[in-house]
């Protein structure tokens, strides 16, 4: 498969290269990528900004996408090959205090696919099945490819009280 890889810990150092199609392990799904989104994090990766220097290249980057289930690992239920999906690429441990109390968004053991593990700038991406989200066929790939950014924006807007006169309070 073709993949966009951060090859070295320096500015630039990006290559489109051939990689093997990943095989799903237990609890994992391989998705054939249909569309991706590019966000500010990807720019930081390209330029090797300090905020991403915990990465250990080579890594396929990218973390916003949609596609179709290609292969399903052992013990995965509720998904079928061909399903139209996306995935939350922030994978939390599920066992720490924050995760157990409903605050997994601040899990100190969070691993991000596209930073800590290979991501979606490839023909196929492997992710935990528990992080896969089925999408409606009504959502076109051009929207499905950037749902992460859309969700973040919607959440930020909900935090504000928007008034009809355009002011915030």
- Which residues are marked as active site? 41, 44
Q: 146 CB contacts (<8 Å, ≥6 apart)?
A: 37, 39, 64
Question: CA-to-CA distance for 122 and 37, rounded, in angstroms?
Answer: 12
- Report CA-CA distances (Å) from 106 to 80, 94, 97, 103, 135: 31, 11, 10, 6, 26
């Amino acid at each position: 498969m073709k993949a966009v890889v951060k090859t070295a810990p320096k500015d630039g150092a990006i290559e489109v290269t051939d990689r093997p199609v990943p095989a799903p392990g237990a609890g994992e799904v391989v998705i054939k990528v249909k569309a991706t989104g590019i966000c500010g994090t990807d720019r930081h990766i390209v330029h090797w900004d300090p905020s991403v220097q915990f990465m250990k290249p080579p890594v396929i980057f990218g973390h916003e996408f949609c596609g179709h289930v290609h292969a399903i690992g052992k013990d995965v239920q509720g998904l079928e090959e061909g399903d139209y999906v996306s995935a939350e690429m922030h994978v939390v441990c599920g066992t720490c205090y924050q995760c157990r109390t409903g605050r997994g968004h601040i899990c100190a053991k969070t691993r991000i696919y596209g930073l800590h593990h290979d991501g979606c700038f490839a023909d196929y991406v492997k992710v935990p099945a528990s992080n896969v989200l089925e999408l409606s066929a009504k959502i076109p790939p051009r929207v499905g490819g950037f749902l992460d950014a859309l969700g973040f924006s919607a959440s930020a807007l909900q935090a504000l009280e928007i008034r009809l006169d355009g002011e915030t309070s």
